[in-house]
Amino acid sequence: MQLQESGQMYLETIYVLTRKSNFVRSVDVGEHMGFSKPSVSRAVGLLKEGGYITVDAEGYLHLTDIGEELAAKIYERHTILTRFLTGIGVDTDTASEDACKMEHCISDTTLAAIKKHIEK
């Protein structure tokens, strides 16, 4: 199942929240993203159906191996793009917002070139 941009955003959010606490629920995702419970519930259902997350009996969200791999890749893209944009003078908030939009459509080739450039 190919994830749409919104699904990738949810997956990345779960990844980021999981790095802060092993106990992440749908409500935490909604609060972090500013989305309603029904929107988060639908997204969680799709991520679960796609095999990207599991939900335990207490309602905690857990990334599967494939979910963690994809989320880490998305997060790395976001981080690289944010670093690049701030490096050329874009303020941090704008850089992060723009990186969030760019991370879903930039090619691996272009991202690799940017990563190589910022590592110099």
Q: How many residues does the chain have?
A: 120
Q: State the Cα torsion 54-55-61-67 to the nearest 10°.
A: 10
42 CB-contact burial (10 Å; exposed 0-12 / middle 13-18 / buried 19+): middle
* pLDDT the model gives residue 113: 95
Instruction: Give 10-residue mean pLDDT values along the chain (120 residues).
Output: 84 96 94 94 95 96 96 94 96 94 92 92
Q: What is the pTM of this model?
A: 0.89
| Spatial CB neighbours of 89, under 8 Å, sequence gap ≥ 6 | none
DSSP 56: -
Tell me what pLDDT residue 5 has: 87
* Nearest residue to 101 via CA among 118, 77, 119: 77
Which domains are seen in the chain, by residue range?
5-67 (1.10.10.10), 70-118 (1.10.60.10)
pLDDT at 70: 94
Q: Residue 1: what pLDDT?
A: 57
